[in-house]
Structure 1
Amino acid sequence: MNLTSLQAISPIDGRYRKTTEGLAAYFSEEALIKYRVFVEIEYFISLCETNLPGLENFDKNQYTALRNIHEKFSESDALEIKETEKVTNHDVKAVEYFIKNKFDSLSLQEFKEFIHFGLTSQDINNTAIPYSIKLALAESYYPAITTLITKIEALATEWKDIPMLAHTHGQPASPTKLGKEFLVFADRLNIQLENLKSIPNSAKFGGATGNFNAHHIAYPEVNWVSFSNHFVNEILGLTRAQHTTQIEHYDQFAAQCDALKRINNIIIDLDRDIWTYISKNYFKQKIKAGEIGSSAMPHKVNPIDFENAEGNAGIANALFEFFAAKLPISRLQRDLTDSTVLRNIGVPFGHTLIAIHSTLRGLNKILLNEAALHADLDDNWAVVAEAIQTVLRRENFPNPYEALKELTRTNSKINAASIAEFIEGLAVEEGVKAQLRTITPFNYTGIF
């Protein structure tokens, strides 16, 4: 299939391919097949390591040749397995036959029946898929989100001393520092990222219905629970669910989806805030030669990166939410609905990566318009009313809140002059007035 980006149905594999193509190593059909082969090979080697009767004479020098089967897995290998699947109509069985053919070529025929020994398909799927998710997080997602957080923290440092009018309920509020507002998002992302990292990559490994029936009937003397815990936890680096049906219960994967969704929500919140700051002219955007903002209005430079990020994070969240709600539910000991759903797990990861990269691209394009921030502060001297009435409360001045309320709501325009006039008319000590005179919208910014 010679698919080009122009022919792809999904924008992940089309328009945004450059951003998401790295995810093919974890979530493509070829990747799924490769990780199935990986689990099957490592399982066979682990059986050999236990000196299981029937495998005690296996030449351990062959381990390298066996591992080459998955380490050197190629597109042609994947195509061979897909051709077999046309006959078997069973994807995991096709993997088993592929490995058996490899054993033939290595003159290991006498050991072939220990491939996939005692297992059901979900022992392979429910280890291969969590393994691919683990790698995707470690090698693709974590570096991307960390880069975004680092950029946000850098902007927070750069703008730590820039005063800015805050807005609560969309109305002018007590001033803040621009850098501190960026730190809010960095802190939130860091906390949720640590929460995500703490969730184990859970896997199922226990035979047809989770009870090691086939394993136990063949080798009752082997502690299969201990064996499988070691294999899944130590060899694969996952966390084995101890009591399952035929499939992994997906509760931990649901938790990962929820955690990824929370991080995306923070990114959306950031995107919307920056979008609004641009609309207020607090930020301008770097202009790229030849770039067009509007097909009709030549002057426009639109905040398209933040809008793109918001849209993609929203799509990702819709899928993460569906996965978290659907996958933990399966009729009796299993139904097949999880199978087709799991084939889509790369999709929200793709949209999430697009959102992260779009946000980062947007942040790299914004230019601080300090004059606009200054003008907005100077146009809203009423915000120092909180400071004045709080100092007057300290001095036990009668009804200070009400006095400032009357001032700020009756005058048509509050400015530096009207505030100064109000202060001079106060019946308080000169030292208090001196303090009040120092308060401006530019320095009433708290301790951050």
Structure 2
Amino acid sequence: MAALSPLDGRYASQLTDFADAFSEDALLRQRFAVEVEWLLALSQRPEIGELAPVDEATAATMRGWVRDFGAADVDAIKAIERRTNHDVKAVEYHLKDKLAAVGFGPGAEFVHFACTSEDINNLAYTLMLRDGLRSGWLPLADGLVGEVWGLAEAHAALPMPSHTHGQTATPTTLGKELAVFVSRWRRQLAGVRAIPLSAKFNGAVGTYGAHQVAYPEVPWIEVSRQFVEGFGLQWNPLTTQIESHDALGEVLHAVVRTNTILIDFCRDMWEYISRAYLRQQTVAGEVGSSTMPHKVNPIDFENAEANAGVSSALAEHLASKLMISRMQRDLSDSSAIRNLGVAIGHSGLALRAARRGLARVAPSAEVMAADLDGQWEVLAEAIQTVMRRYGYDEPYERLKALTRGTTVGPKDVQEFVKELALPAEAEARLLALTPAGYVGLAPELVAYARPPEQ
């Protein structure tokens, strides 16, 4: 209850996967893992005679420290940081302490060898982002898209009134409108998965200066490439002191686009609920309003809209900020990037809320049918288009005079069609047309959002 951020307070139980990936504990764990792997990598270089190869048993012990990294390690590192006032140096010293406890010897001085803090940090944050996307954000996004697809497929042919500029327009189907969002989201999620996350490991200003002076015989560029790629990341050979964060910016911008589509979706769902095209299930004991007992509010979609907006505002800032650093580096990125998990976390919270809202709604076919039955004017588009085919003069203007700003019913439309003396087949097709039947190829279009595996 004392948490400053709602992510760590009110919503903490919904974001455990995100906390595991993006918390301060997670950052320390990833830093520690990078330090361990760098020492092991150096120990395998025959040119570095002063550091004996680490045997398999010791390597297993060290990797076990990473696997079992927990509260005791965090407390120890934080105690060192209070003394050193440097968070990365505290991780280095903690690893040295653990090595001393197992009798590692003088080779412990190769911990953090030739590294700048950003060598450790850029890898750690990139690994955090990858883990957070894989374990938290992508499963939620995939789940929402799959659920919307399920509704779209089930209601591909369900006629629904359409509105452009807030006014009655050519009818559509519920499935087709939902499939639009599925298609848009799938494009963004495919983009996120395709972005190669990158990292660097090249010293103080990206020149391998200290490396080369200490061991000129070591092929440091190749060592760096192999080390970064060993984490499953793309190696960035050309950087300043900091990794350029361009790939991180790409991911954040993709999250923003996903959020924007989510806001668009939530607002449409809100409108459909307000028009009673979608009905919400009630939950026993739930209160919709503190004073109006009848209320069943679409709060989950409103919650999703709010959190998606917060996520986008922060992600937009981070994407722009982190890609800029004065000359070879400044420290402003260090403070900003700590909010990476907050940006992704608010998006995850939005996705989860939208899924809750979606689980509570079902289409009101009878409401949509009744609404459509009062919208015979929408057939004006179809009639004037057929008139154009057969060479009638001023078809648009004639239908405008019949329908614009007035209320027309089936009798008005049918009498107008009969007076045209169209070819029999065309007349029969128009006379059989109803607003609910005027959905074009909408049911067939839904299939274009089908998952590739289907």
Q: Same fold (TM over 0.5)?
A: yes
Aligned position for 1:392: 387
Identical aligned residues as a percent? 44
C-alpha distance 163-57 of structure 1, shift in aligned 2 (>3 A): closer
User: 1:148 aligned to 2:108?
Assistant: no
* 1:121-132 pair list within 5 angstroms: 121-132=117-128
User: 1:237 aligned to 2:245?
Assistant: no
Counterpart Cα distance in 2 of 1:107 and 1:260: 47
- Per-residue displacement from partner, 1:349-391 (whole Å, max 9, x unpaired)? 1111110010000000012111110111111111111111111
User: 1:236 Cα deviation (Å)?
Assistant: 0.9
State whether residues 13 and 21 of structure 1, in contact with CA within 8 Å, keep that contact through their aligned partners in structure 2.
no
User: 1:110 Cα deviation (Å)?
Assistant: 2.4
Structural RMSD (CA): 1.2
User: 1:81 Cα deviation (Å)?
Assistant: 0.6
Counterpart Cα distance in 2 of 1:431 and 1:237: 64
Aligned length: 441
Higher relative contact order (CA 8 A, sep 6+): 2
User: 1:300 aligned to 2:298?
Assistant: no
State whether residues 52 and 107 of structure 2, in contact with CA within 8 Å, keep that contact through their aligned partners in structure 1.
no
User: 1:149 Cα deviation (Å)?
Assistant: 0.5
Counterpart Cα distance in 2 of 1:142 and 1:428: 55
Match among 338, 341, 348 for residue 346 of structure 1: 341
Counterpart Cα distance in 1 of 2:38 and 2:418: 84
User: 1:139 Cα deviation (Å)?
Assistant: 1.3
Aligned position for 2:434: 440
State whether residues 387 and 439 of structure 1, in contact with CA within 8 Å, keep that contact through their aligned partners in structure 2.
no
Counterpart Cα distance in 1 of 2:423 and 2:32: 83
User: 1:88 Cα deviation (Å)?
Assistant: 0.8
- Per-residue displacement from partner, 1:237-260 (whole Å, max 9, x unpaired)? 111221111111112111111110
User: 1:56 Cα deviation (Å)?
Assistant: 4.0
Counterpart Cα distance in 1 of 2:316 and 2:114: 34
Q: TM-score, normalised by structure 2?
A: 0.95
Match among 190, 201, 204 for residue 186 of structure 2: 190
Aligned position for 1:226: 222
- Per-residue displacement from partner, 1:391-445 (whole Å, max 9, x unpaired)? 11111122211111111127x3211111011111113233321121111111111
Aligned position for 2:98: 102
State whether residues 159 and 179 of structure 1, in contact with CA within 8 Å, keep that contact through their aligned partners in structure 2.
yes
Counterpart Cα distance in 1 of 2:101 and 2:286: 58
- Per-residue displacement from partner, 1:7-39 (whole Å, max 9, x unpaired)? 111110111111112212111111111100000
SS of 1:50's equivalent in the other structure is coil
SS of 1:173's equivalent in the other structure is strand
User: 1:57 Cα deviation (Å)?
Assistant: 4.4
Counterpart Cα distance in 2 of 1:268 and 1:324: 20
SS of 2:420's equivalent in the other structure is coil
- Per-residue displacement from partner, 1:184-232 (whole Å, max 9, x unpaired)? 0000000011111111212121101111111111111111111111110
- Per-residue displacement from partner, 1:106-143 (whole Å, max 9, x unpaired)? 21112101111110111000101101111111111111
State whether residues 421 and 427 of structure 2, in contact with CA within 8 Å, keep that contact through their aligned partners in structure 1.
no
* 1:303-318 pair list within 5 angstroms: 303-318=298-313
SS of 2:292's equivalent in the other structure is coil
Counterpart Cα distance in 1 of 2:356 and 2:53: 58
Aligned position for 2:448: none
- The AA in structure 2 aligned to 1:17 is A
C-alpha distance 417-57 of structure 1, shift in aligned 2 (>3 A): closer
State whether residues 311 and 343 of structure 2, in contact with CA within 8 Å, keep that contact through their aligned partners in structure 1.
yes
SS of 1:425's equivalent in the other structure is helix
SS of 1:237's equivalent in the other structure is coil
- The AA in structure 1 aligned to 2:264 is D
Counterpart Cα distance in 2 of 1:9 and 1:227: 43
Aligned position for 2:450: none
Aligned position for 2:25: 30
Counterpart Cα distance in 2 of 1:162 and 1:330: 53
Aligned position for 1:3: none
Aligned position for 1:279: 274
Return 149-158 or 50-59, whichever deviates more. Answer: 50-59
State whether residues 44 and 53 of structure 2, in contact with CA within 8 Å, keep that contact through their aligned partners in structure 1.
no
State whether residues 44 and 54 of structure 2, in contact with CA within 8 Å, keep that contact through their aligned partners in structure 1.
no
Counterpart Cα distance in 2 of 1:238 and 1:50: 21
User: 1:84 aligned to 2:80?
Assistant: yes
Match among 425, 428, 432 for residue 419 of structure 2: 425
Q: Which runs of 5+ in 2 are unaligned?
A: 443-454
Match among 176, 201, 213 for residue 180 of structure 1: 176
Aligned position for 1:13: 8
Q: TM-score, normalised by structure 1?
A: 0.96
User: 1:374 aligned to 2:366?
Assistant: no
Q: Which runs of 5+ in 1 are unaligned?
A: 1-5
Match among 401, 409, 416 for residue 396 of structure 2: 401
Return 196-205 or 117-126, whichever deviates more. Answer: 196-205
Counterpart Cα distance in 1 of 2:251 and 2:190: 11
Aligned position for 1:68: 64
Counterpart Cα distance in 2 of 1:213 and 1:409: 76
